[in-house]
A and B are shown apart, each in its own frame.
Chain A
Amino acid sequence: MYRYVIKRLLFLIPTILGVTLIIYAVMSITPGDPGRAMLGTSALQADVDAYNAALGYNLPFPIKYFNYVKAMVIDQDFGFSYLTKQPVFDEIWPRFLETLKLAFLGVFIAASVGIPFGIYAAVKQYSLWDTVPSLVAFFMAAFPSFVLGLLFLYFFSLKLNLLPSYGIGSFEHYIMPALAISIPPAAQNMRFTKSSMLEAIRQDYVRTARAKGAAERTVVWKHALRNALLPVVTQIGLSLGVLIAGAVVAEKIFSIPGIGSLIVDRIAYKDEPVIIAGTILISICFTLVMLLVDIIYAFVDPRIRAKYSNTKG
C-alpha cells in the first residue's frame, strides 16, 4: 500500500512539469507583454523592451521554462508578480486557502445533502421520496452557480437581511457562496448515488443477504451502500477538484479573495508568474485530491487492497 502511495506521489512530478509546460506554452503564444501592460501607452518601446528583458520575459521559451522550473524546484521560488512586485507565493497562498476553505465546505454540503437523498431515492424508488428529490436534482444540476449566487444575494442579503453580501469576515460570509457552489454538485451526487445504489441493490449478493433473512437496514447500509459508494467517492473527489478550480464564479459574486478570481484578474495584465503559479497550485491540489480518493478507494474496496498486499505493496 505504501508503495502505491509513493508511486502516486511520484506521479505528481511529471504532472506538474506537464502543467507548467502547457501553461508556459499557452502564455508564450498569446500576444502582449507585461512591459507594455505595466509601463502604459506612453512608455518608449526601448523602455518596454528593457523592462521585459529585466523580467527575463524575452528569453527563448525553453530557457525561460527551464529557469522557472529550476527556481521553483531548487529555491521554491515562484518569482515576483509583474503587477504588484510582491512575491507570488505571498499573493497566491492566502487566496488559495480561501478557495480551499470554500471548496471543502461546498463538497461537504454537496455530499451531506446529495448522498442521503440519493440513497433514500434508490431505496424508495418510484415513491415521492424518489420523484420529488430527483426532479429537484434535475433542475438544480442545471442551475449555474452565478444564478444561484445572485438569487441568494437577493433573498438572503437584500430581502431578508440575514447574511452579509460580500467578504470573508466570519462563518456567515461563507454560507451563501458555499451553498451556491454546492447545490449543482449536490444534485449530481444525489443522482450518482441513486443510480449506483440501484445497481448495487439489484446485485446477487444483496438478494442473497435478503434471502438469508438479514434486516433491510443491514442489507442497505452494510451490503448495498458499501459497494455503491465506490464510484460516489470518485465523484466527490472530482467535484472537489472542480470546485477548487471553478469557485471563481462564487469568488467574484461574493467578493471572496480566492485564487480563481486572482488568476482571472491577472490574465488582463499578463501577469505570468501569478497565473502560472496559481494554476500549478490548483493542479497539485487536484492531483493530491485524486490521490486521496484512490487511497480511500483502496481502503473501501478490498480487491484493490488485496492486489497491493499480494504484491507486497
Chain B
Amino acid sequence: MNKKRLLSLLLMFLMLVSVLAGCGQTTEPSEEPGGTETPAVNPDEEILTIRKTASLQSTDWEATTNTFDMQIMWVQVFESLYTIDEAAGGYQNQLAKEVAISDDGLTYTVTLQDASFQNGDPLKASDVVFSYKRAMENSRFNYVTSMIKSVEATDDKTVVFTLDYPYSAISHTFWSIKISSEREVTEQGEAFGTVPHTAATGPYIITEYDVASGLKLKANENYWKGVPNIKNVEYIVISDDAAAVIAFENDELEYLPDAPLSEWESLVAASGENNSLTKGNNIRFMAINYLSPTNNNILGNLKVREAIFYAINKDNINAAAASGYGAPAYEYMPHEYVATSPSFEDGGFKIYDYDPEKAKSMLKEAGFTDAQIAEGIDVGTLMTYGAATAEKAKATQVIQANLAEVGLKCEIYVAEAAQVTPKLYAQDYDMCIFGDSGNYDFNNIRQQVHSESTGMYVVKYADEKSPLDYKRLEELVALGVSTADVDARLDYYTELWSMVMDSATILPLYHNPVGIVWSSKLDPGGLSPTYYHIYNFKWVE
C-alpha cells in the first residue's frame, strides 16, 4: 500500500467521523439510544427514571442514613403520622386523622386514618405502637423519641403518646417516625430491609431491590389516598455528575433531584423552563473549639475567634462551594421555612459580615503585634468531611485563604465523615465545617449545644471556661420546647442564638442550594426542596 492510498484512507475516516458527529441532534432527540424510533408509550407502562448517586442501603426506612435514600423510603414508600410541608413550612396530618393535646401538654391522643398497608392489612394502632417502640430502641432516633414516656393503643384506631415533659417539637417526631406493618416486619425478621416488602402504607411499592443493580417501584393501586398517576418508577444509580447531566440531556433521565450545581447552566439549557433552584434547608456552619490546646489555647481568646469570623468572606465560599447558587447564611435555620427560627433581618443577634480590617484590629486587640500578624499566627487545623463531594472541602480552602489575608494561618484536613465526625464529638479539633438542619424545628439546635445532647455536640459549652452562660443556654433550650406559642419560642430562640453568636464559636456560612430539573414530559406538581412526592407527579398529556 503506498503512502498516498494510506493518507486518503485516513482522511476518509476522519471525514466520516466528522459527518457522523455533525449529524448529532442537540435538542429533543426523538430516538432511543441504539437508533430505533420511540414507539407510542401507554402512560401506564411508561417508567419515570430518577437519578440516584448510590444504591439504596436498605428497604427498611430506619436503616436509611442519607438524604437520597430517605427521599425514597421516607416519602414514596413509607408514611408517618404527619407529613412535612417544606415549601410553606410546618407539618400536616398524614396517617394521623386527628390529634388531641392534653392541657398539660404531656398527652397526645392520635386518631388514625382509615389507611391500609401495601400488603392489604388495615392500619391499626398496634402497628403505630410497634413502629414507635422499634424506633425508640434504635439509638439513631434518640433525638426525636427521647421525650416519649410511653406509647399505647387504646383501640384499633387510637394511639396515646405520653411525654416526660411538654415538647412542642413533637410534630417533627410525628414526621420522622414511619409506620410499618407489625405483621410483615415480624414475619420477615432479620431479612426485613434486605428484600422488597409491602410493609408500608405509602403510594409506591418496591418491586425490585438489588444493591448491585438498582431499585424499581410500582404504584400502590390500593393507596388509601387514591391511585398515583405515575405507575412505574426506576431509580438509576449514576454517581458521576457529568454522566448524569448527559443522561438527562439524552432523555434517559426524567427527574434529577439535587441536581449538580457545577453543571447547572447545562441543565438549565437542556431543561428549558423545567428547573428549579431553591434555597435549601441545609446550612453549612463553621465551629471553633475554644478549648483546643493548639498554640497555647489561642482559640480560647474571644478576640481571635471574632477575628476569624470577620475574616471569612461568605460570598467567596458560596462561589466556590455552591457554584454561586447558594446564599450567605446568618441563621441557624432559614426563617422562611421554620416559624420559630430568628431572622437576621430582625437584628436580634450579632452577625459577622466580612471585614478584614476589623479582623486585623481584633487581632491587635488580642495582643498580637504587626510583626506576628505579618508572619502569620497559627490557629491550628480546619477540618471537614465529605471528601467525595468536595463541597465543604472547597469552603475550607476559601477560609484558609481568607485567614491568610488577615495574618492567620491554618492547615486543612479533609476526610470521610466516618473518620472526621468522631473527632468532632470528642472535641478533638481546632476548627471545623459541618452541615446541619434538614430539620424544621429550631429545637434541633439542642443536639449541638446542650450538654445532655447525644447528638452532634460540636462545641462543648458546659465547661468552666465556657464563653457563655451555658446554664442559661440550656434553660432556653428547655423553655423553647415547653410551649407551643410561636412568639414565645421565637423570643427564647433569639436569646439563645444571640448568646451563641456573641461567643463566636459557631458561624453559619452558607445555605446549600437545591437544584431540581425535570423532563418536559413530566409535571412534578408543587416542588419541595428535599422531599419530593412522586404521588403529585403526572405525565404531561
Contact = CB atoms under 8 A, between A and B. Distances in A.
Interface of A: 30-34, 36-45, 47-48, 51, 83-86, 91, 94-95, 98, 127-129, 132, 149-150, 153-155, 157-168, 172, 252-255, 257, 261-262, 265, 267-270
B33 A164 contact: yes
B236 A167 contact: yes
A305 to B, nearest CB: 39
A255 B237 contact: yes
Interface of B: 3, 6-7, 10, 20-21, 23-26, 29, 31, 33-35, 54-55, 57-58, 63, 65, 138-143, 190, 193-194, 210-214, 236-240, 242-243, 246-247, 249-250, 252, 388, 415-423, 425, 447, 454-456
Contacts of B194: 84-86
Given A255-B237, A257-B55, A267-B416, A160 B20 contact: yes
B33 A83 contact: no
Contacts of B422: 31-33, 36
Given A85-B63, A155-B21, A150 B3 contact: no
Max chain B Cβ within 10 angstroms of own Cβ: one of A48, A127, A154, A268: A268
Given A159-B24, A162-B35, A165-B246, A37 B417 contact: yes
A218 to B, nearest CB: 21
Nearest to A51: B139
Contact of B418 (A37, A132, A160): A37
Given A85-B63, A160-B23, A161-B35, A42 B140 contact: yes
A51 B137 CA distance: 12
Contacts of A166: 236, 238, 243, 247, 252
- Best-surrounded residue of B143, B212, B237, B454 (most CB of chain A within 10 A): B212
Task: List the 3 closest pairs (A to B, CB-CB), nearest first.
Answer: A159-B24, A47-B139, A32-B418
A162 B456 CA distance: 49
A153 B246 contact: yes
A51 B249 CA distance: 44
- Which of A30, A37, A42, A85 has the most B CB atoms < 10 Å from its CB? A42
Nearest to A50: B139
Contacts of A153: 242-243, 246
A41 to B, nearest CB: 4
Contact of A48 (B65, B139, B190): B139
A238 B228 CA distance: 53
Given A36-B418, A160-B23, A255 B3 contact: no
A95 B212 contact: yes
B419 A165 contact: no
A268 B447 contact: no
Contact of A157 (B33, B213, B238, B447): B33
A286 to B, nearest CB: 21
Contacts of A45: 425, 454
B249 A252 contact: no
Contacts of A127: 3
A269 B243 CA distance: 24
Nearest to A43: B139
Given A85-B194, A163-B34, A157 B456 contact: no
B142 A253 contact: no
Nearest to A255: B238
Given A84-B58, A85-B194, A91-B211, A161 B65 contact: no
A77 to B, nearest CB: 16
A253 B211 CA distance: 18
A158 B421 contact: no
Contact of B239 (A36, A41, A129, A252): A252
Contacts of B6: 128-129, 132
A257 B419 contact: no
A278 B99 CA distance: 50
Contacts of A85: 58, 63, 190, 193-194
Contacts of B140: 38-40, 42-43
Contact of B243 (A48, A155, A163, A165): A165
Contacts of B238: 166, 255
Contacts, number: 174
Contacts of A267: 416
A158 B24 CA distance: 8
B65 A40 contact: yes
B197 to A, nearest CB: 14
- Most chain-B Cβ atoms within 10 A of its Cβ — which of A33, A160, A265? A160
A132 B7 CA distance: 10
Given A39-B138, A44-B454, 20 more contacts: A31-B419, A31-B423, A33-B418, A33-B422, A38-B63, A38-B140, A41-B425, A42-B139, A43-B139, A45-B454, A84-B211, A85-B190, A86-B211, A94-B212, A150-B243, A154-B246, A157-B250, A159-B26, A160-B24, A252-B239
Nearest to B141: A42
Nearest to A170: B34
B237 A161 contact: no
B122 to A, nearest CB: 29
Contact of A32 (B25, B63, B249, B416): B416
A18 to B, nearest CB: 25
Nearest to A154: B246
Nearest to B25: A161
B250 A161 contact: yes
Nearest to B270: A158
A164 B236 CA distance: 13
A265 B139 CA distance: 24
A47 to B, nearest CB: 3
B332 to A, nearest CB: 16
Contact of A164 (B21, B24, B34, B420): B34
Contacts of B35: 161-162
16 contacts: A32-B421, A36-B421, A40-B65, A42-B141, A45-B454, A84-B193, A91-B211, A94-B210, A132-B6, A149-B243, A154-B246, A160-B23, A161-B25, A161-B250, A172-B34, A255-B239
B239 A157 contact: no
Contacts of B447: 41-42
A41 B25 contact: no
A167 B212 CA distance: 11
B21 A160 contact: yes
Contact of A265 (B20, B31, B54): B54
Contact of B212 (A34, A40, A91): A91
Nearest to B22: A159
Contacts of B138: 39
A37 B247 CA distance: 31
A270 B418 CA distance: 7
Given A85-B58, A253-B240, A32 B143 contact: no
A160 to B, nearest CB: 5
Contacts of A38: 63, 65, 140
Contacts of A86: 194, 211
A265 B389 CA distance: 12
Contacts of A84: 57-58, 63, 193-194, 211
A83 B24 contact: no
Contacts of B454: 42-45
B30 to A, nearest CB: 9
A91 B194 CA distance: 11
A165 B10 contact: no
Nearest to A163: B33
Contact of B250 (A41, A158, A167): A158
B236 A255 contact: yes
A42 B456 contact: yes
Nearest to B454: A44
Contacts of B214: 257
Given A37-B418, A44-B454, A158 B246 contact: yes
B15 to A, nearest CB: 15
